[in-house]
Structure 1
Amino acid sequence: MATVPAIQNIASPLVPALSNNKEIYEWRIYTLTGEGDSFDAFLENVLIPAYNRFNIKVGAFSLYKKEEKEKRHVLFIYPDITTFHKVKREIWSNTTFRQSAQSFFDASAPAPVYSDFDTYLSEAFDKIPTHRIPDKSRTLFEIRIYRSPNEEANQRKVRMFNVDEINIFDKVGVNSVCYGEILSGPRMPALMYLTWYKDEVA
């Protein structure tokens, strides 16, 4: 099992979805070339509002503990796979987004603010088809990516979560936001889940 370090929310708190379908989660991990001020401004003022106009909820997070290279984690929550494809097609033809984003793209082309980003696309578990709202008192989030040795083992792990493990997490006080089977990502097969905490001690 691989664990991404604890992260803290920097923009757009997550809110409940309106669909009864299983949500689709797109998790991007950006590796920055600097401290990230210009990228944070782009997220807060341009990218997140653009997705919000499509009724897509977005959460942006910075690392709680510094690593060698600064990173940003961004979670996009789609109500279903059809909406995911629709937004991907339409956002780049959206005039408001293109106009507001162009200065960032022009400035970052010769001097990139991030070297690359990894994307994990996942589908919500049957047990929790839509995300849960984090408590307002939360200060830390933790994303965990659980990798399996093969596809069959990953399916068994997903079933274990649906049948038993999510209930156990709830009973022992693990504060879950969402769970997803990763459909596409840098390393497969795998699943992911996001939890929140009031402080580092918790």
Structure 2
Amino acid sequence: MKVRKLIPLGFIALCFFMSSNLFAQKRDFYELRTYHIENAEQEAMLDDYLSKAFIPAAHKNGIAKVGVFKPIASQPDAGTKVYLFIPFKSMDEYLALEGKLAKDQTYQTAGSAYINAAFDKPPYKRIESSVLQAMTGQPKFAESELTNAKKDRVYELRSYEGPTERLYKQKVKMFNSGEMDIFSRINCSPIFYAETIAGANMPNLVYMTTHENMEIRNEHWKVFGADAAWKGMKDLPEYQNTVSRNDTRLLYPAEYSDL
């Protein structure tokens, strides 16, 4: 009789362990949206929409943090792009958001100038969007640990394109097997690492690190290049020729950005 009672308890414990383990490994999905803009008027309209309509509506629908980033003044694309980073717990949450916004009267009212913009006064030139999935080495996004003024920060958004799917996967492995650890160890306060599952430059991975200012950003890269772990892995045969193009964007967070 005692054995028969213990079997169900053991089975329940095993199921709980397995479900907890699966939950721990669940990875975020992200949308990385790039608004291409042509003038200060479009930027102001976009800022108003994101800060007063979209981000509050996202919060209401369970998306706790939304990032908005712009190129720093020294970059050639300064004033021409606004980046929007939206983390989702699942693809279902991602797919459901647009429908929820369509039914949200508060959002519709707050975002009316953007939503109902005239054809000859649009709030942007074009929108470019990628759907990403967090890497296993950091399955959830993280807030930056920086505390200095947002306008002084440098957030580094990098996309590493692979020449083939096989070689791209080796670069992902490299990140999951130690490269992420180096960034954390040298205090780059990474926000996310992700694989692109739908976008223009596949196969590619995308990640974002954060730095107090440009001087510290440059120092971080010097430290990274001299790191013993990096030196030990960068010349391994399995990691050769994994990146065919490195696209680097130096950004700062908008004052109303959550991240």
TM tier, shorter chain? 0.7 to 0.9
150-159 or 83-92: bigger deviation:
83-92
> Which of 90, 95, 104 lines up with 2:100 in the alignment?
90
- What corresponds to 1:62 in structure 2? 70
Quote the residue 1:102 is aligned against: 112
Partner in structure 2 of residue 7 of structure 1: none
1:147 corresponds to: 161
Q: 1:34 deviation in Å?
A: 1.0
> For 1:67 and 1:105, how far apart are their aligned partners in 2?
29
Partner of 1:28: 33
> What residue identity is the alignment partner of 1:29?
T
User: Alpha-carbon deviations, 1:80-101, whole Å to 9, x = none?
Assistant: 2221122233222323222322
Q: Supply the AA of the counterpart residue of 1:33.
A: E
* SS at structure 2 position matched to 1:117: strand
Aligned to 2:201, what secondary structure does the other structure show? coil
Distance 1:38 1:61 in 2: 15
Return the structure number with greater relative CO, CA threshold 8 A, min gap 6: 1
CA contact 1:33–1:113 (8 Å) conserved in 2: no
Aligned-CA RMSD value = 1.8
Asked whether the equivalents of residues 36 and 82 of structure 2 are also in contact (C-alpha less than 8 Å), the reply is: yes
Name whichever structure is richer in strand by fraction: 1
Q: Normalising by the residue count of structure 2, what TM-score does the alignment of the two structures yield? A: 0.66
1:5 alignment counterpart: none
State whether structure 2 residue 63 is matched by structure 1 residue 49: no
Q: Which amino acid is the alignment partner of residue 60 of structure 1? A: V
TM-score with structure 1 setting the length: 0.83
Unaligned 5+ segments in structure 1 are: 1-18
Secondary structure at the aligned position of 2:111 is classed as helix
Write 1 or 2 for the structure with the bigger share of helix: 2
Gaps of 5+ in 2: 1-22, 217-259
Describe the shift of the 1:81–1:106 C-alpha distance in structure 2 as closer, same or farther (beyond 3 A).
closer
Q: 1:1-202 residue pairs with structure 2 within 5 A?
A: 20=24, 21-35=26-40, 36-56=43-63, 57-65=65-73, 66-67=75-76, 70-138=80-148, 139-202=153-216
SS of corresponding position for 2:125: strand
CA contact (8 A) 2:146 2:189 kept: no
Secondary structure at 2:114 match in 1: helix
Q: Percent identity?
A: 23
Partner of residue 253, structure 2: none
Give 1:39 deviation, angstroms: 1.2
Secondary structure of the corresponding residue to residue 144 of structure 2: coil
Alpha-carbon distance in structure 2 between the residues aligned to 1:159 and 1:88: 33
Deviation of the 1:126 alpha carbon: 0.6
Q: Residue type of the partner of 2:92?
A: T
Q: Aligned partner of 1:176: which letter?
A: P
Contact 1:23–1:79, Cα closer than 8 Å, also in 2: yes
Tell me how far apart the structure 2 counterparts of residues 54 and 108 of structure 1 sit (CA, whole Å). Answer: 28
Measured after TM superposition, the shift of residue 43 of structure 1 is 0.9
- Structure 2 CA distance for aligned equivalents of residues 88 and 155 of structure 1: 32
C-alpha distance in structure 1 between counterparts of 2:54 and 2:118, whole Å: 15
Q: What SS does the aligned partner of 1:201 have?
A: helix
CA contact (8 A) 1:33 1:112 kept: no
Q: Give the CA deviation at 1:52.
A: 1.3
Q: Secondary structure at the residue paired with 2:208? A: strand
Q: Secondary structure at the match of 1:50?
A: helix
